């Protein structure tokens, strides 16, 4: 059919719709988004410094929540470093949190800040559209250490702090540790020369000294010494060729969990180094999804 054979009514309709089609925003042409992102939500203020989080929300309401803690040797990084975005379309909300870095405030400030974020999120759960009864904490590298520590110290006053919202619980129901550290009393002996070049100054800034100089503080900051039978289910992911965070650190955490009779699952990344796409590919996202679905039935 030539253009001259198209009915006049069809041509008229097309001409009527053309302005709207030309001037509508690109978003109008896009598919319905699978999730929304709300950035820079302030959850606390300490010494004039605002602490904020980014919240990734799936379409469904009352979604289980993952609190993500970024890495960076406790001295760098930010909430924008969040690699678990593929979990949001699977139905999980994610809150990526900032915390005071070691150059600003030493340990236990990071634990206090992260627990403050959890209290804020739980207190505002209905408003934010997340499930206050299903909260997991996750992190990579130094963030993996902090995720483990915050997770296994549910209800311990010394690490609770008084930052931000009080009254709500900071307890979590699951822990995900991506190549994190668990025992500051052994980490230096296990480290490669490259690992020592990173870890020695990082621990100096975090603890205000080396673990041998501050043994009590080093134990308090080490998740392995807080594990008990009621510790939340834990999923460990670690590369067996990690040059920065010794693979043995996750082995120690696994052993502590097994000794306590708590639930632990260890996914060894064969040939894996310190981070990288292997830890967040489709296979690992499926593994994390399965783990969380089992923990949050």
Structural domains of the chain, ranges and CATH numbers in brackets: 35-295 (3.40.50.1820)
**Structure tokens given for 262:** 């708590």
Range 78-90 average pLDDT = 95
What percentage of the chain has pLDDT greater than the value 70? 89
**Structure tokens given for 238:** 């670690």
DSSP 232: P
Task: Using a cut of 0.85, tell me whether the model's pTM lies above it.
Answer: yes
> Please, are residues 130 and 88 in contact by the beta-carbon 8 Å criterion?
no
31-55 pLDDT per residue, tens:
445 789 999 999 999 999 999 999 9
The structure tokens 């300490």 sit at: 46
CA pair distance 167, 170, nearest whole angstrom: 9
Q: Which of 21-25, 63-67, 81-85 has the lowest mean pLDDT?
A: 21-25
111-128 pLDDT per residue, tens:
999 999 999 999 999 999
Q: State the pLDDT at residue 29.
A: 32
Residue 155 pLDDT > 60, yes or no? yes
CA pair distance 110, 112, nearest whole angstrom: 5
């Amino acid at each position: 059919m030539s253009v001259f054979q198209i009915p006049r009514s069809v041509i008229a309709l097309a001409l009527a719709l053309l302005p709207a089609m030309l001037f509508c925003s690109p978003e109008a042409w896009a598919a319905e988004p699978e999730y929304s992102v709300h950035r820079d939500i302030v959850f606390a203020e300490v010494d004039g410094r605002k602490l904020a989080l980014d919240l990734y929300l799936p379409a469904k309401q009352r979604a289980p929540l993952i609190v993500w803690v970024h890495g960076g040797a406790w001295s760098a990084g930010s909430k924008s470093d969040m690699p678990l975005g593929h979990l949001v379309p699977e139905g999980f909300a994610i809150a990526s949190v900032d915390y005071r870095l070691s150059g600003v405030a030493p340990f236990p400030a990071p634990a206090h800040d992260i627990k403050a974020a959890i209290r804020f999120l739980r207190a505002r759960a209905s408003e934010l559209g997340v499930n206050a009864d299903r909260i997991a904490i996750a992190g990579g590298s130094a963030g993996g250490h902090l995720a483990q520590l915050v997770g296994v110290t549910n209800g311990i006053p010394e690490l609770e702090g008084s930052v931000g919202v009080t009254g709500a619980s900071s307890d979590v129901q699951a822990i995900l540790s991506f190549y994190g550290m668990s025992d500051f009393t052994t980490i230096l002996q296990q480290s490669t020369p490259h690992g020592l070049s990173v870890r020695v100054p990082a621990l100096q800034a975090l603890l205000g000294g080396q673990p041998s100089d501050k043994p009590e503080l080093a134990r308090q900051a080490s998740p392995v010494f807080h594990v008990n039978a009621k510790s939340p289910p834990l999923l460990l992911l670690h590369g067996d060729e990690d040059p920065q965070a010794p693979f043995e650190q996750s082995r120690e955490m696994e052993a502590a969990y097994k000794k306590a009779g708590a639930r632990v699952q260890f996914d060894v990344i064969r040939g894996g180094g310190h981070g990288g796409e292997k830890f967040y590919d489709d296979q690992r996202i499926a593994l994390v999804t399965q783990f969380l679905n089992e923990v949050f039935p």
